[in-house]
Amino acid sequence: MNENSMQNITKIYLASDHAGFEMKEHLQDFLSKQHYEVVDHGNFEYDEDDDYPEFVAAVAQAVAIDHESRGIILGGSGQGEAIMANRFPGIRAVVFNGQYEPQDGREVPNEIVISREHNDSNILSLGARFLNNEEAEEAVTLWLETAFSGEERHRRRNEEIDSMF
């Protein structure tokens, strides 16, 4: 049994602006081959003048309603997209632009793993100008395969956040 079936995550909502368009198209094919149902909320063609809020809002609304789904949004840095998504109640969007590797010998936790285990992130915002397709595939796979820990302290914190909206 794979993690996908253990978590009942079968549907992935996608969206991007022009900067993330090519990577979104790549990930849509990648996820479909992994047997996820992929719902594309746009943009549906490359348009260098598009704006992400409409596309990201559609993903955030869908994930907020469909608790057994996840969303992946893409932009140049992923920052604006995450800011937009996090305006919706119940959304916990995190940005990933590559795993930080300190040069001074420190060990840091894997951001993708922590975002799922501790924060139960339900939208992953990728910076297409920071990642290549292979790195994006690895990030998405790890994010989808990592379960929320369910620890009381993490549940409590997420409930506190949700209660403020």
Residues 101-150 have pLDDT tens digits of 878 888 888 999 999 999 999 999 999 999 999 999 999 999 999 999 88
135 falls within a domain: yes
pTM of the model: 0.91
| CATH number, residue 143 | 3.40.1400.10
H or E, element range at 56: helix 53-65
Is 41 tagged catalytic? no
Is 118 tagged catalytic? yes
2 falls within a domain: no
- With tokens 């003048």, the residue in question is 49
d(CA 53, CA 45): 16
Domain region containing 132: 7-99+108-163
Helix axes 133-145, 21-33, angle to 10 degrees: 50
Q: Which residue of the set 18, 25, 41, 81 is catalytic? A: 81
85 falls within a domain: yes
95 falls within a domain: yes
Q: Which residue of the set 22, 26, 54, 118 is catalytic? A: 118
- Name the domain count of the chain: 1
Residues 10-60 have pLDDT tens digits of 899 999 999 999 999 999 999 999 999 999 999 998 989 898 999 999 999
Instruction: Examine the pLDDT at 4 and tell me if it is beyond 70.
Output: no
